[in-house]
Amino acid sequence: MSKKNINSENQLLNNLPLSEYQRLLPHLQEVMLVSGSVLHEPYDAINYAYFPVSAMISLVSIMEDGSTTEIGLIGNEGMIGVPIFLGGEYTISRAIVQMAGSSFKLRADILKQEFDRGGIFQKILLLHTQARLTQIAQSAACNRQHKIEARLARWLLSVYDCVLKDELDLTQEFISNMLGVRRAGVTIAAHALQDAGIIRYNRGKIVILDHKKLEEASCECYRVVQNEFIRLLGSRRG
Q: Please state the domain count of the chain.
A: 2
> How far, in Å, CA of 24 to CA of 6, rounded?
12
Instruction: Collapse the DSSP code of 166 into the 3-class scheme (helix H, G, I; strand E, B; otherwise coil) and give the result.
Output: coil
pTM: 0.85
Question: Are 157 and 89 part of one and the same domain?
Answer: no
99 and 190 inside one domain: no
Same-domain status, 193 and 103: no
* Average predicted confidence (pLDDT) for the chain: 87
Give pLDDT, residue 132. Answer: 87
CA 131 to mean position of chain CA atoms: 11
Final residue in a domain of this structure, among 101, 117, 133: 117
**What's the CA gap between 28 and 14, in Å, rounded?**
13
Residue 128 forms part of a structural domain: no
Residue 172 within any structural domain of the chain: yes
Q: How many CB atoms lie within 10 A of CB 85?
A: 21
Q: For residue range 55-91, list pLDDT tens digits in order.
A: 999 888 888 887 777 788 899 989 999 999 998 888 8
CATH number for the domain that contains residue 86 = 2.60.120.10
**Same domain as 33, residue 79:** yes
Structural domain contains residue 66:
yes
Task: Return the CATH number at 214.
Answer: 1.10.10.10
Domain interval for residue 220: 142-225
